[in-house]
Chain A
Amino acid sequence: MPQRTVYQTTIEHLQILDEDAKLDTKLAKDTLTDEEVRDLFEKMVIYRHFDEVGFKLQRSGRMGTYPQNKGQEAAALGSGYAAKKGTDFLVPCYRENAALFLHGLPMHNILLHWMGDERGNQIPDGVHMTPLSIPIGTQMLHAAGIAWAFKIRQEPRCVITYFGDGATSEGDFHEAMNFAGTLQAPCVFFCQNNQWAISVPRESQTASETIAQKALGYGMPTTQVDGNDMFAVFKATREALDRARAGGGPSFIEAVTYRLADHTTADDARRYRDTEELEAWQAKDPIIRHRKYLESKGLWDDEKQAETEARAKKIVQEVVKAAEGIDKPNFEDIFDYTFAEIPESISRQRDTGRTSSLGQNPDQIGLQAESQRV
Chain B
Amino acid sequence: MAELNLVQAINLALAQEMEADERVVVLGEDVGLNGGVFRVTEGLQEKFGADRVADTPLAESGIMGSAIGLAMAGMRPVPEIQFEGFMGPAYDQLVNHAARYRTRTRGAITIPMTVRVPVGGGIHAPELHSDSPEAIYAHHPGLKVVMPSTPHDAKGLLISAIRDPDPVVYFEPKRVYRSFKEEVPEEEYTIPIGEAKVISEGDDITVVTWGAPVFQCLDAMDNLPEDLSVELIDLRTIFPIDIDTIAQSVEKTGRCVIVHEAPRTCGMGAELSALIQERCFLHLEAPVQRVTGFDTVMPYYKLELDYLPESPRIQKGILECTSY
- Please tell me which one of the listed residues A136, A328, A355, A374 contacts residue B58 in the complex, with CB atoms under 8 A apart: A136
Residue numbers in B under 8 Å from A206 (CB-CB)? 57
**Cross-chain pair count, CB within 8 angstroms:** 157
B313 x A357 contact (CB < 8 A): no
- In A136-162, the 8 Å CB interface with B consists of 136-138
B55 x A354 contact (CB < 8 A): no
Asked if B109 CB lies within 8 Å of chain A CBs, one says no
A335 to B303, CA, bound (A): 12
Q: When each residue 260-278 of chain A gets 1 if its CB lies under 8 Å from chain B and 0 otherwise, what string results? A: 0000001100011000000
A166 to B60, CA, bound (A): 12
In the complex formed, the residue of A with least CB distance to B55 is A200
B295 x A346 contact (CB < 8 A): yes
Q: When each residue 294-312 of chain B gets 1 if its CB lies under 8 Å from chain A and 0 otherwise, what string results? A: 1111011111101101001
A65 to B127, CA, bound (A): 10
Known A-B contacts A166-B58, A334-B294, A354-B316; A65 and B303 likewise in contact (beta carbons under 8 Å): no
A202 to B121, CA, bound (A): 31
Query: Which of B29, B60, B302, B313 has the most CB atoms of chain A within a 10 A radius of its CB?
Result: B302
Residue numbers in A under 8 Å from B309 (CB-CB)? 355
Q: When each residue 238-276 of chain B gets 1 if its CB lies under 8 Å from chain A and 0 otherwise, what string results? A: 000000000000000000010000001100000000000
A172 to B295, CA, bound (A): 28
A134 to B300, CA, bound (A): 12
A115 to B85, CA, bound (A): 19
In the complex formed, the residue of B with least CB distance to A364 is B324
B58 x A205 contact (CB < 8 A): yes
Residue numbers in B under 8 Å from A65 (CB-CB)? 124-126
Query: Which of A166, A170, A364 has the most CB atoms of chain B within a 10 A radius of its CB?
Result: A170
In the complex formed, the residue of A with least CB distance to B264 is A355
A365 x B58 contact (CB < 8 A): no
B126 x A171 contact (CB < 8 A): no
- Least distance between A233 CB and chain B CB atoms (Å): 23
A358 to B286, CA, bound (A): 10
A114 to B126, CA, bound (A): 7
A200 to B45, CA, bound (A): 14
A199 x B33 contact (CB < 8 A): yes
Known A-B contacts A355-B290, A359-B320; A115 and B302 likewise in contact (beta carbons under 8 Å): yes
A199 x B58 contact (CB < 8 A): no
Which bracket fits the contact residues of B? 35 or more
Asked if A122 CB lies within 8 Å of chain B CBs, one says no
Residue numbers in A under 8 Å from B29 (CB-CB)? 197-198, 200
In the complex formed, the residue of B with least CB distance to A362 is B320
Q: When each residue 39-66 of chain A gets 1 if its CB lies under 8 Å from chain B and 0 otherwise, what string results? A: 0000000000000000000000000110
- Please tell me which one of the listed residues B30, B62, B295 contacts residue A349 in the complex, with CB atoms under 8 A apart: B295
Asked if B59 CB lies within 8 Å of chain A CBs, one says yes
- Least distance between B141 CB and chain A CB atoms (Å): 25
Asked if B292 CB lies within 8 Å of chain A CBs, one says yes
Asked if A367 CB lies within 8 Å of chain B CBs, one says yes
- In A317-374, the 8 Å CB interface with B consists of 328-329, 331, 333-335, 338, 345-346, 349-350, 353-359, 362, 364-365, 367, 372, 374
A357 to B256, CA, bound (A): 13
Asked if B88 CB lies within 8 Å of chain A CBs, one says yes
A356 x B257 contact (CB < 8 A): yes
A170 to B37, CA, bound (A): 19
Residue numbers in B under 8 Å from A212 (CB-CB)? none
B313 x A358 contact (CB < 8 A): no
Asked if B34 CB lies within 8 Å of chain A CBs, one says yes
Asked if B15 CB lies within 8 Å of chain A CBs, one says no
In the complex formed, the residue of B with least CB distance to A326 is B302
A64 x B34 contact (CB < 8 A): no
Asked if B105 CB lies within 8 Å of chain A CBs, one says no
- Least distance between B126 CB and chain A CB atoms (Å): 5
- Least distance between B62 CB and chain A CB atoms (Å): 7
A200 x B58 contact (CB < 8 A): yes
Asked if B49 CB lies within 8 Å of chain A CBs, one says no
Residue numbers in B under 8 Å from A328 (CB-CB)? 302
Residue numbers in A under 8 Å from B306 (CB-CB)? 331, 334
A367 x B320 contact (CB < 8 A): yes
Residue numbers in B under 8 Å from A350 (CB-CB)? 294
In the complex formed, the residue of B with least CB distance to A330 is B303
- Least distance between A66 CB and chain B CB atoms (Å): 9
A358 x B302 contact (CB < 8 A): no
B62 x A169 contact (CB < 8 A): yes
A137 to B128, CA, bound (A): 14
- Least distance between B47 CB and chain A CB atoms (Å): 16
Known A-B contacts A169-B62, A271-B34; A345 and B304 likewise in contact (beta carbons under 8 Å): no
Asked if A247 CB lies within 8 Å of chain B CBs, one says no
- Least distance between B49 CB and chain A CB atoms (Å): 15
A333 x B303 contact (CB < 8 A): yes
Given A329-B302, A349-B295, output 12 extra A-B contacts at Cβ < 8 Å.
Answer: A113-B300, A116-B303, A199-B34, A205-B57, A205-B58, A334-B296, A345-B295, A354-B316, A355-B291, A356-B290, A356-B321, A374-B313
17 A-B contact pairs sorted by A residue (CB < 8 Å) = A116-B303, A134-B128, A135-B85, A169-B62, A171-B61, A198-B30, A271-B35, A331-B306, A354-B316, A355-B291, A355-B293, A356-B321, A358-B289, A358-B317, A358-B324, A365-B320, A374-B313
Interchain residue pairs A-B with the least CB separation, the first 4: A116-B301, A199-B34, A169-B57, A166-B58
